[in-house]
Amino acid sequence: MQGACRVMNNDRDITEILKPRLPNKVGTNKEDGGTEESWEGDMLREALVGAAKLTLHPFSLSVPRYSDSALICYVLRGNGLVGVVFPDTEKEQVKKVRKGDAVALPLGTFNWWHNTHAQDDLCILILGDTSQALKHGQFTNFYLMGHKSKVNGGIMHGFSKDFVAQAWDLDELVVKKLLEAQEETAILKLRAPLNIEETKEDALGYGCFVYNCEDVKKDVDVKNGGRVAVLTSDNLPILQRIGLGADLVKLDPGAMCSPGFSADGAYQVTYVVGGSGRVQVVNNEGERVVDAEIKGGYFFIVPRFHVVSKRAGPEGLEWFSIITKEKPIFAHLGGKTSVWKALSPEVAIASFNVDKELEQHFRTRRTSDAIFFPPK
Q: Based on the number of CB atoms within 10 Å of its own CB, is 112 exposed (0-12), middle (13-18) or buried (19 or more)?
A: buried
Taken in order 159, 163, 167, 171, the sign of the CA dihedral is: positive
What's the confidence (pLDDT) of residue 12? 54
d(CA 324, CA 268): 7
Taken in order 155, 156, 157, 158, the sign of the CA dihedral is: positive
Quick one: CA torsion of 197, 200, 206, 211, rounded to 10 degrees? Answer: 70
- Identity of residue 159: F
d(CA 65, CA 225): 41
Comparing CA positions, the residue from 114, 129, 101, 136 lying closest to residue 320 is 101
d(CA 33, CA 189): 4
d(CA 326, CA 282): 24
Residues 45-55 as b/e (b if ≥16 CB within 10 A, e otherwise) read: bbbbbbbbbbb
Could you tell me the end-to-end alpha-carbon distance of the chain, in angstroms, rounded to an integer? 40
Is 66 within 8 Å of 112 (Cβ atoms)?
A: no
Provide CB contacts within 8 A for 274, sequence distance 6+. 296, 316, 317, 318
What's the confidence (pLDDT) of residue 364? 85
What's the confidence (pLDDT) of residue 55? 96
Side-chain half-sphere exposure of 183, counting CA atoms within 13 A? 4
Q: What is the mean pLDDT of each run of 10 residues along the chain (376 residues)?
A: 49 81 74 90 95 96 96 98 92 95 96 96 98 96 86 87 95 92 88 92 71 92 94 92 95 96 95 98 95 97 96 98 92 88 92 93 82 90
What's the confidence (pLDDT) of residue 142? 94
Name the CA radius of gyration of the chain, rounded: 23
Q: 110-115 and 79-85 as β-strands: parallel, antiparallel, unpaired?
A: antiparallel
Is 227 within 8 Å of 259 (Cβ atoms)?
A: no
What's the confidence (pLDDT) of residue 102? 97
What's the confidence (pLDDT) of residue 311? 97
Q: What is the 3-state secondary structure (H, E, C) of the chain?
A: CCCCCCHHHCCCCHHHHHCCECCCEECCCCECCEEEEECCCHHHHHHCEEEEEEEECCCEEECCEEECCEEEEEEEECEEEEEEECCCCCCCEEEEEECCEEEEECCCCEEEEEECCCCCCEEEEEEEECCCCCCCCCCCEEECCCCCCCCCCCHHHHCCHHHHHHHHCCCHHHHHHHHHCCCCCCEEECCCCCCCCCCCCCCCCCCCCEEECCCCCCCEEECCCEEEEEECCCCCHHHHHCCCEEEEEEECCCCEEEEEEECCCCCEEEEEEEEEEEEEEECCCCCEEEEEEEECCCEEEECCCCEEEEEEEEEEEEEEEEECCCCCCEEECCCCCCHHHHCCHHHHHHHHCCCHHHHHHHHCCCCCCCCEECCC
